[in-house]
Amino acid sequence: MVNFVMELKGSDNSMAKTKTKFFCSECGYESPKWLGKCPGCQAWNSFVEEIETVSKSRGFHGGASEKKEKAVSIINIESSEEARIITENRELNRVLGGGIVPGSLILVGGDPGIGKSTLLLQTSYELTKQECKVLYISGEESVRQTKLRADRLQAISPLLFVLSETNAQFIEAAIDEIRPDFVVIDSIQTVYHPAVESAPGSVSQVRECTGHFMRIAKGKGIATVLVGHVTKEGAIAGPRMLEHMVDCVLYFEGERHHSYRLLRAVKNRFGSTNEIGIFEMQEIGLVEVSNPSELFLSERPLGVSGSTVVAAMEGTRPVLVELQALVSQTNFPSPRRMATGYDHNRLSLIIAVLEKRMGMFLQNQDAYLNIAGGVKLDEPAVDLAVAVSIASSFRDQPTQPFDVIIGEIGLTGEVRGVSRVDQRVREAQKLGFKRIILPQKSLKGWTPPAGIEIIGVNTVAEALSAALV
């Protein structure tokens, strides 16, 4: 009887131990018990219970037989430019910083049906034209469904391999067999690792599978793209550490009722995070937009109060966008302040400046601001155009139809200088605008082009007298 008990204890020590832990679904913070508020990200009610299996002898991350790296002096490391895979899609190349870096891990997020799978399937086909072998792995669709989408997009190539699989180990076996140059996993929330005893899409599974594919991408030099679902707030579902593990995080934005989409980089270890790519959804798929300013201003009304045009910078590209403001008398004790595509707090600040410095009584007026086309602008150079739009709607005075307004507003009502004025002015001239209202301090260091009038202003009052009819 004693020997039987000892045998049971010995077999139990060799087996894996099961532990119950709690993880924050926002940042991945680990706790042995449930907490109402996460100490890491301060989120409320974000902890979920998961079962974690830990092997006593050896984990699936590796063991003592793994090769250890030695520290090397930074002087002895050769510095060279990363070799990039240049795609035919110039907008995608712009966002990625010049192309796809081999061995990089890219995370693409966006709302359902926004066009993530369409863009990646088109990109996969374009890479096959350069004799690159591509493996497209779908955990949500069968290979027949993927083939139907490829037929619609005319993305058929013998170098494009399709697999419907959710087991991370089977996916690794397929990668070892095909040896592709580019891998797409759609989506990371559907993939699971057998060594983790939790449901696919949980914090443990997403974290472990991402680390698994990161080791494959870095070890084999394969550029890998992970598609991530987003929450109702617009963030990528799963722990925030998922964004820290990858090399590049791209968000696919756009309104479902509009035909164009914006691809924005929020993290990029190989390039700038200020660039955006603009696409238009058509029957044949996503088509890149070479001149976004012309697209955003195509439906702009002329001679209407509350409408102005601003030249904003998205990375290295100037984009002309229409601002629309509506100021009307409120029926509530406190007036409403609503902004679409613009910071709500910044809108309240500009309204306060107009009340204090310009004497506009807006305390009994509702103010609504809209960036036409669903574009989001967050640079300070938009402030002056916002102020002119609000004043135009409040006074019911239209602005000049061929004016572009640029400038940052201070709390004392002064107009501050902005950067890259010459690029903004050339873009406005290219689209046929006649006048540019900008800060007086931004007129130094460059020569205005011929055929366009430049008006420098120092205060908001000077800008309103020059802009309003």
CA distance 305 to 469: 10
Check if the beta carbon of residue 23 is closer than 8 Å to that of residue 48: yes
Q: Are 457 and 467 in contact (CB under 8 A)?
A: no
Evaluated on CA atoms 405, 407, 408, 410, the torsion sign reads: negative
Taking CB atoms within 8 Å and a gap of at least 24, the contacts of 331-335 are: 332/366, 335/362, 335/363, 335/364, 335/365, 335/366, 335/367
Angle between helices 344-358 and 383-395 (to 10 degrees): 60
Binding residues for ATP: 110-117
Residues 278 and 287: their CA atoms lie apart, in Å, by 9
Residue 147 identity (one-letter amino acid): K
- Token digits for 294? 């012309």
Q: What residue ranges in 216-316 does DSSP mark as E strands?
A: 223-228, 248-253, 260-268, 276-282, 285-288, 307-314
**CA-CA distance, 207 to 428, in Å (whole number)?**
46
Angle (CA) 174 179 184, round 5°: 65
Closest CA to 417 of 467, 377, 381: 381
Task: Indicate the helix (H) or strand (E) that contains 49.
Answer: strand 47-54
Q: Which residues contact 405 (CB under 8 A, 6 or more apart)?
A: 308, 309, 310, 384, 385, 388, 399, 436, 437, 438, 463, 467
Binding site residue list: 110-117
Instruction: Please give the Cα distance from 100 to 455 (Å, whole number).
Output: 43
Are 314 and 382 in contact, with CB atoms under 8 Å apart?
no
